[in-house]
Each structure stands twice: as C-alpha cells, then as structure tokens.
Structure 1
Amino acid sequence: MKNNEVTVSLENVSKIFNKTNWVIKKINLKINKGEGLAIIGPNQSGKSVLARLIASQIKQSGGIIQYNFNDENVMANIGFQFRQTTWPEGFTVKEVFSLYKNINDIQDKEWIDDLVEVFGIDLRWNKTLSSCNTSWLQLFSIALAIINRPRLVVLDEVSSSIGLDFKIKILKFLKEYKEKYEASFVVISPDDSTFELLCERVIVLDNGFIISDDHVSDWQKNLTFEKYSLNIMDAISQEEIKVKPDPLFKPILKKFEDNRKIFKEHYDAFLEKNVGSEHESNIVYIRNINYHLNELENVLVSLLSTAINRKNIDEVLLHTKMAIKISKKTRKRVTKLESKVKYKKSALLFFTKTEKFFLFLEEDLYKSFKSNKYIVYATELTAQLSKKELEQLSSLKKKYIQEEIRAMKFENKSIKKQQKLEKKKIKGR
C-alpha cells in the first residue's frame, strides 16, 4: 500500500553557482516515506546537484526544503553516498569504518556485522583505502551512508563494474532495509537492476528543470526502465519534450501589459499628432523605443510557453535596457531643441506622460531580472507585487514572527511557573 506521508518536500527550489550558473531552476518535488525515486537526465542536467540539495549537503539559493523526521536532527536521518574514492594515505578500511561507527554511536553489533559481511568489508579490513579499487570504494561509501540507519538515503552511484552476484546481494540488502525501515531512497542514474529493486518512480531533469515525473504503476506492462530511459533521452535530443513554463510569468506579463497600455495610448497619440514628421531623427528614436518594447513583450509572452533560461533572461535585460537608454537620450535631445521645432511640445508631453512607465521598467522589471529575483525567489503571488509592497510584506512577516516568539516565550514562562507551583504542592504534602 502506498504511503502518502512526505519525507522531504522541495518548494520553488533553485541553485545558482557564482551568481550566473543556474543549475537547478524552481524545482517542486515531494518524496514520500518508503518511496524509491530515480533521477535521470542528460549530462549537465543538474542530477547530482539536486541530489546534494535533497541530502542537505549544499544550501539552496532560493525556495524551501522541508524534512519530516521524528526527531529534529535532520542530518542524522539522511544518508548520502559521497562520490569521492580517494582517501588520505595510510588510512585502513577498519579505521574509517570504526570512525563512522563511533561518531554515530552505533551499538547494534548484529547490524554492524551485517554491513561488514554484505559489503565485503571483512575481506578488506586491514587494507589501506588507497589500495582498494574504485568500484568497491563506491560500495563502501554506501555502507558508510547507511551505518546510522537513516530514513532518507541518497545514492549517487551504485557501481556497475562489480560482479553481478555481489551487486545483487547488496541491492537485495538495500531493498530489505528500505522496506523494513520505510526509508525513502533517491538514486541518481540507476541501471536496470538497481531501478527494479529500489525505485517505483522516476523524474527526468533537463537543463535544471523537471520535465517528466512518472510512477512505474502507470507504465504499460511491456515498458522497461531501459526502454523508458532510451525513449525519454531520444525525445530530449529531438526536442520533442518541452519544459512546462513557470506560472509566475503570467502576472509579470500582465503587470507589463497594464503599464504598456498607458504608454501605447500616449505613443499613438504622439505619432498621430506628428503625421508627416515620422522621419525626423528624434521621432525615429521614439519609434525605436516602441520597437524594443515590442521585442520585450514578445520575450515575456514566450516565457508563458517555454522554460526560463539564460538566453531569454538576457533578451529581457537587453530590450529593457535599450528602451530606457533611448528614452533618456531622446528626452535630453528634445529638451535642447529650439521652441520653433513643431514636435518639441508634443514630444516633451509624451515623455512626461510616460515617466511612470519608464520608472517601472528601470526600478521594477530590469532590476528584478538583473538580480535573479524571478529565477530564484519569486512566486506567482510575489511576482505581482511592487518593491514597496514586497517591503511591506516582509515587514508584516517580521512582525508576525516577533509576535509568535513573544507568545512562545510567555507560554514557556507560564509552564515553568505552573511546574514550580506543582513542585511546591508536592513538597507541602
């Protein structure tokens, strides 16, 4: 029976390295108790980074990751298979295994014996780690990851270059562990046997986005994991799968269109008043502003049907910047014109009437995209808010948290006071 209790949830999670390398983009994902999840995708799609985020090995740039464990020590409930297969010279298998055992205060001898026997640790007990082959060190890393019996296990690689009998033995052990403790498993790029024994669900990553999320129970009877993987990779290479657009761009586009509508009214009125002067240099500049705004609108509209990426963000920044730059330059040129120039008065009126629109472009749209606000932090709600409204929202949240802390402190004082009174009563008896 499927368990609907969530072990870990990711909401709007992103990861950016060096402020420009967007590896994980606004991931929403829930992994249930006892569920086995495979993560597959092309090279550089963000699989390992997502695994490290799930395992709390790195901090997200934006969004929320929540764990649902029985105790507050999150890291004690997560087992992560480190990929490094190089260890300092001189360390033996026994020394490192014993170190992990003591750090985690593992007293269950039967459990330790099982790990030692299943993973072939006893056969290499006194060997230095540097003398062990890479394939076995990957398995040793799994043993260290589960030594404290975590409720969430993240495996980055189950070696495929070991003997089949040895591999099946380990996989069956992991399967029994998963079922006994209702542990959730996340496996990066599993092979067929690993997927068959440990996974019931698969998500596909491409360019930092989840483009597919499927449960084995929904597959056709003759569909295998190998066929599924080949089909999905072929579809990605042929660009047959499109990433679902981020819903927050709908309010962004609406906000832009509402402001643009006011600009368009004054722009059309200005051109109508100056029919016959269309080729004057300053009027050409004003028409160029409208060109960049049209291009900007096209990019924003495309974000409703395509996934966000570096290219379309750069296009938003380019056309916004050009519209602002030309506007400022042209306004200065018009201000310096002689009073007898026919279109000077109407041009200055146009710039006065559209001031708020260009302020919106410069202070809201441009700065938000430049600072990665819409990539990392925004939600469908906050994307609609102005800078002032966001500051007010932040202030309200802060006040709410402060009130909650005061209430908690007061409650704690009341409990302690009550406990003291009860102790006095007991002593007085």
Structure 2
Amino acid sequence: MNQKTPIVELNNVSKIYNKNVWALKKVDLKLYRGECVSLLGSNGSGKTTLLRIIGNNLKNTTGTINYNFDEENILKAIGLQKREQAWPNGFKVKDINDLWIKIYDMTDLEWVNKLKHVFGVNEIEEKYLSKLSIVRLQVYAIFLSFISKPELVLIDELSSDIDFKYEEKITNFFKEYLADGNTLVLNHPSYYFLENLTDRVIYLNDGEIFEDLSIKEVKKEYKSVMDYTKSIFKEEIVAEKKLKNKSKFFSTMNTKTETYSNSLQIIIEDLENQQNHNEKVLNRLKEVYFAILDLKTSIDNLSISYINKTSIRIISKKIKMTIKLINSLTINYKYKKYHKTLSSIEKFLNKELKRTFANDKVIVNGDVLSITMSESEKKQLEKLKEKYIREEQKIIRRKILKQQFKKQNKINKSLETKSQKEVENNEI
C-alpha cells in the first residue's frame, strides 16, 4: 500500500451529545502508516472521544470515516485500549487471555508469547483481575489490544507510573510495530513516550484540532517538546479566557503552580547542561514538571468554566498522582540541592491544594460544561461486557465438559470391555 495513502481518514467528523453538547467539532484528520501520533489537550478537549471514534467504538454524529486496512475484518485491524478497566469478579488473567485468543482465532502463539513477555503478562496469569493495580490493568489492556495483530492501535491510557524495565521493553516493541508499517495513536502519553516515540502531535481544544505538527516542526519552532507543550497550554488558556471571564477564586493557586512549574523547568535545563547526568532521574523530573503543568492547566480551565463535581474529582486525582510522582522520585546525592524545591512542591500539593479539593461541595457552584459519556451509558457498557464475557466462558466450559465427557465415556467403555472379558474367562 502506498505510504501516502492514509490508513484512516476523517472528513468533517463531529460528535454531539444531548443535541447541544459538542464533544468534537468538524474534525478533518489523516493518519498514515508507520507513524506514532500523540493527542494532547486538557480534560474535556475531545481526545478520548476522537480516539474512540477512530477505533470504531463510538458512532460519530456527522461526517465520514474511511479505513484503508489490508485486513478485511475491521475488528481485527483495530486494537483499542480503553481507560475504563472494570472486569467482572472471578476471572483470572489467563481466562481472559484464552478468551481473547479464541475470539480472534489467534493461531500465532509466537506473537502472543512475545506480547506476554513485553507487557509482563506471564507474571500475572494466575492472578485475579480484580486484584491487579490500576497501572497493571492499563498495561494488560494494552496487551489485549495487540492480540489480533492489528494494523492500528489506539491507547487511551499510558501511565507515567509504569516501571522503568517495562517502559524500555514497551518502547522498543512499539518501535518494531511502527517499523512494520503499522500506526499507533497515544492519548496524552507520559513525557517518556512522548519524547521517545512520537512523530506527530495533535493538540485538541474544545473539540477542535487546535494544532497538528510533526515533531520536526515542533523542535524547529519551539526547540523542544517541553517548550512546545508549555507554550501551547498558555495559548489555549488565553484563547479560553477571552471567551469566559470567571471569578478569581483560584488566582493564588494559579500563581503558585506557575512558580513551581518555572522552578522545575530551570532545574531540568540545569541538569540537561550537566555532563554525565542521570537520564532516568531527568526523565522523572520531566514527568513531575508535566504533571504540575497539567494540574495548572486544569485549575486554570476550572477557574474560567462551569464547575461540577466531576471536574473537582479529576483535579483531586491529579493532585494525588503528582504527589505520588514526587514521593517515588529517587535522586542520588549529587542532586541533593533539588530536594528543597521538590519538598516545597509536595508540601504545597498536600497542605493547600489537596485540602482545597478534598470536598467538592465547597467549590461546586455551576453546571456541566462538557460531557464524554453518561453514567447510564457506562453502566450499560459494563453490563454488556460482563454478559459477553460470561457467555464466551460458558461456551469454553461446555467444550471442556464435552471433551471430559467423551474421555470418561471412552474410559467407561474400556472398563466394561475389560470386565466382560474377565466374566467370560471365569465362565470358561
């Protein structure tokens, strides 16, 4: 297939909820073979909606989508990892592995074993899904999205909490996958994956493509991905502030998060200029930087938009995640001078922000600004998922029981024949 022929092409695609809430607005987009595309943007900007529409998992309201796969079965051609990972109780990892292999009729066990090695599935096969951590479930869901050997994989959650050993394995595997002419789309990946994999950045704002640049263009104009991200966050906030002029309730928080993000940028630049610096430490500091920047953007957006319980809880979750990132950051002795800044940030997050956002009743005074999926839709999807899995398990169990029944019948017949011969010999 011609490299210039898009593997997916969206024309004038929109998604509207409840007749008046635009999650996506007239999106035109082409994805090509061999490229890794990262979707960036604040919460509610339309990233997950776009991902699910491309993945044939959500129906668009307007516009057309054209796929140019070699595989005729679109379900096998697309791998989609979803953010929500709620599995029914009682299922082990190996049960779902067997089920997915059966669903996609996978005979290439060498491919499956390779995936198990890359994503650490061998270590958890005997564990119940309900007992796995959120990060483990996210990584396992990526594993499942690759089982059918798809030509396009869409990943909604690529956590910054993934262990170093898996980060490297997954990155190398993704590079091989792309080199084979496949396409990868990542939703707001961590800095590590953004820096090491991305060929192209698409920035969404309020359901529209705000910017679409290659990494070469980003580095030419902004010098680094980090500088670009910081710049684009500011441009987005300025654009929104022109449309919405809200209370100054969050002004102190905004000022402090801005100060801390600037301090972290100085530390990172200082480290990058040092010879023989620890690359892993530097990447982790960048993760903290981007988490602070993302937190600041969320607070900025909240200060200029309608406020609801969901938005408060999202920010609360981001605060906890950023604290966790700082606490897990191990810096050896020669980086000790940076501890004071990190400790100040951790103290600010714990004692000021976390307490402020602990109770949504204190802040909430508005209405819903944007919607991605209603609670009733989520419940319905979970019920369908559970029903589907249980039905497939029934089929598998019936086959096992049938095989066991045949085996037992064979044994019984053998015993009957033996017994009959013994009777005949005794009569003689």
SS class of match (2:239): coil
Contact in 1 for aligned 2:6/2:30 (Cα 8 Å): yes
Shift of residue 240, structure 1, vs aligned partner: 8.8
Name 1:219's counterpart in structure 2. 218
Q: Does 1:183 align with 2:167?
A: no
Once residues 111 and 225 of structure 2 are traced to their aligned partners in structure 1, the CA distance between those partners, rounded to angstroms, is: 32
Query: What TM-score comes out, normalization by structure 1 length?
Result: 0.54
Measured against aligned partners, the alpha-carbon deviations of 1:319-348 in whole angstroms (never above 9, x if no partner) come to xxxxxxxxxxxxxxxxxxxxxxxxxxxxxx
SS class of match (1:6): coil
Letter in 1 for 2:190: D
Q: Which structure 2 segments of 5+ residues have no match? A: 244-428
Shift of residue 227, structure 1, vs aligned partner: 1.9
Shift of residue 125, structure 1, vs aligned partner: 1.0
Name 1:69's counterpart in structure 2. 69
Letter in 2 for 1:132: L
Name 2:361's counterpart in structure 1. none
Once residues 21 and 185 of structure 2 are traced to their aligned partners in structure 1, the CA distance between those partners, rounded to angstroms, is: 24
Once residues 110 and 241 of structure 1 are traced to their aligned partners in structure 2, the CA distance between those partners, rounded to angstroms, is: 53
Q: Does 1:105 align with 2:108?
A: no
Once residues 241 and 26 of structure 1 are traced to their aligned partners in structure 2, the CA distance between those partners, rounded to angstroms, is: 23
Name 1:163's counterpart in structure 2. 163
Measured against aligned partners, the alpha-carbon deviations of 1:8-42 in whole angstroms (never above 9, x if no partner) come to 00000000011111110000000111111111111
Question: 1:11-410 counterparts in 2 under 5 A?
Answer: 11-180=11-180, 182-220=181-219, 223-239=223-239
Measured against aligned partners, the alpha-carbon deviations of 1:190-216 in whole angstroms (never above 9, x if no partner) come to 122212333211111111111111011
Shift of residue 241, structure 1, vs aligned partner: 11
Contact in 2 for aligned 1:175/1:198 (Cα 8 Å): yes
SS class of match (2:123): helix
Name 1:404's counterpart in structure 2. none
RMSD over aligned CA atoms reads 2.0
Shift of residue 242, structure 1, vs aligned partner: 10
Shift of residue 84, structure 1, vs aligned partner: 2.0
Shift of residue 115, structure 1, vs aligned partner: 1.1
Letter in 2 for 1:75: L
SS class of match (1:107): coil
Measured against aligned partners, the alpha-carbon deviations of 1:344-393 in whole angstroms (never above 9, x if no partner) come to xxxxxxxxxxxxxxxxxxxxxxxxxxxxxxxxxxxxxxxxxxxxxxxxxx
Query: What TM-score comes out, normalization by structure 2 length?
Result: 0.54
Letter in 2 for 1:186: V
Q: Which structure 1 segments of 5+ residues have no match? A: 244-429
Once residues 31 and 198 of structure 2 are traced to their aligned partners in structure 1, the CA distance between those partners, rounded to angstroms, is: 12
Higher deviation after alignment, 8-17 or 221-230? 221-230
SS class of match (2:7): strand
Residues 72 and 110 (structure 1), Cα distance of their counterparts in 2 relative to 1, 3 Å cut: closer
Measured against aligned partners, the alpha-carbon deviations of 1:240-288 in whole angstroms (never above 9, x if no partner) come to 9999xxxxxxxxxxxxxxxxxxxxxxxxxxxxxxxxxxxxxxxxxxxxx
Size of the aligned set, in residue pairs, is 241
SS class of match (1:187): strand
Measured against aligned partners, the alpha-carbon deviations of 1:152-207 in whole angstroms (never above 9, x if no partner) come to 11011112112122222112112212212x11111110122212333211111111
Shift of residue 226, structure 1, vs aligned partner: 2.1
SS class of match (1:124): coil
Shift of residue 220, structure 1, vs aligned partner: 3.4
Letter in 1 for 2:191: D
- Percent identity over the alignment is 37
Contact in 1 for aligned 2:203/2:210 (Cα 8 Å): yes
Once residues 58 and 146 of structure 1 are traced to their aligned partners in structure 2, the CA distance between those partners, rounded to angstroms, is: 20
Once residues 220 and 197 of structure 1 are traced to their aligned partners in structure 2, the CA distance between those partners, rounded to angstroms, is: 14
Q: Which has the larger radius of gyration?
A: 1
Shift of residue 230, structure 1, vs aligned partner: 1.2
Letter in 1 for 2:213: D
